[in-house]
Copies of this chain bind each other. A is one copy, B any other.
Amino acid sequence: MPKLTNLELIALADSFPYPTDSRYKTEAGSLYQFMSHDMNAVLGYLLPSVVDILRDLKQLFVVSDEDQRVGIAPEYDSVEKRSKMMNDLALIWRNDNKFKVLKGWRSELYPIFYPSSKLYFTLERSACPIFGLVTYGAHMIAFVPASDSQKLRMWVPRRSRTKSTYPSMLDNTVAGGIGYPYGVFDTLIKECGEEAGFDPELIKEKAKSVGNVSYYYTRTSAAGGESGFLQPEVQYCYDLEITEHSPPPQPVDGEAEEFNLWDVEKVQEELAQGNFKPNTALVTIDFFVRHGIITPENEPNYLEITSRMHRNLEHPLR
């Protein structure tokens, strides 16, 4: 297999075309906007196959073919009403085997925001891609800084071979979705314990918030379920600088099969071979940009990469 460039890796995670892209018309032209109950905000994008199903639910949604929009019906005018309606529907679909993606049912609620920063409703995690809703995660890379004798090294887990999504692929040291009603850093601390056995006190003291990435993912079958659902994502990024004598991360809940302490060169090789889960490749590339490993001098597509890792999502956000 030819080696993937950094830009090709970014394009695997930020896979929905931009309006200026020649693919945009064919891939985005048939999509419908999923609107808030007041029709003022675009919460996500819907595939025509989903619109056909919503069309029959006249009590719940208002479909306008003229302008390719589907709104939540105006009577769903509270967080509680919207959350109940959306989750009841997801449960019916699950029982009817309507969508393969719901086989990954998590019994975990994700928050949807509108206006920005204000909770609009909550929805079962596995149902969010059906509506193209923005979801959020916290990712951390634990690393041992470069020394006179060695390059910077990073702790890279391999996902369990039995996971339904991206089995056996490489990942960020710790990564997890931000469920309702948890905060960003609280989620990170929890995931650090569950996935890697990190002491919460170590994380509270040493994990450093370093920004976030955002991108527009088009789901493939490797994500579990149908291909083509749109999944705009924001990942809050953290660095954990440790020494080689720090207690290493350990598989705890079985999400990770093993943790490897690899130097930059080895990580770049595994990236180029396509062995990382797409969005964790993107987060790793962001780490390399922030740590002066990928620079304007050594990366010909530097600005396209940094721009696409910070895609402006045109939806209300957390």
Interface of A toward B, CB cutoff 8 Å: 18, 20, 116-117, 183-185, 208-212, 214, 234, 236, 289-292, 295-297, 300-304, 306-307, 310-314, 317-318
Contact = CB atoms under 8 A, between A and B. Distances in A.
Nearest to A238: B292
Given A185-B296, A296-B236, A311-B312, A304 B210 contact: no
A228 to B, nearest CB: 23
A255 B219 CA distance: 51
Closest 6 CB pairs of A and B: A310-B310, A208-B292, A184-B296, A209-B295, A209-B292, A303-B317
A306 B235 CA distance: 12
Contacts of A307: 214, 310, 312-313, 317
Contact of A297 (B184, B311, B313): B184
A297 B178 CA distance: 14
A185 B303 contact: no
Nearest to A117: B300
A246 to B, nearest CB: 19
18 contacts: A184-B297, A185-B296, A185-B297, A208-B291, A208-B292, A209-B289, A209-B295, A211-B289, A211-B306, A212-B302, A214-B303, A234-B303, A236-B296, A290-B290, A303-B318, A307-B312, A307-B313, A307-B317
B304 A317 contact: yes
B184 A290 contact: no
A20 B314 contact: yes
Contacts of A300: 117
Contacts of A210: 289-292
Contacts of A183: 296-297
Contacts of A312: 18, 307, 310-312
A295 B236 CA distance: 10
Given A212-B303, A289-B211, A307-B312, A295 B234 contact: no
A218 B307 CA distance: 20
Contact of A290 (B211, B297, B302, B317): B211
Contacts of A209: 289, 292, 295-297
Contacts of A289: 209-211
A249 to B, nearest CB: 20
A16 B222 CA distance: 40
A209 B297 CA distance: 10
A290 B210 CA distance: 4
A208 B292 CA distance: 5
A66 B142 CA distance: 56
A282 to B, nearest CB: 14
Contacts of A185: 295-297
A203 B317 CA distance: 39
Contacts of A318: 303
Contacts of A214: 303, 307
Given A208-B292, A210-B289, A290-B210, A310 B303 contact: no
Contacts of A297: 183-185, 209
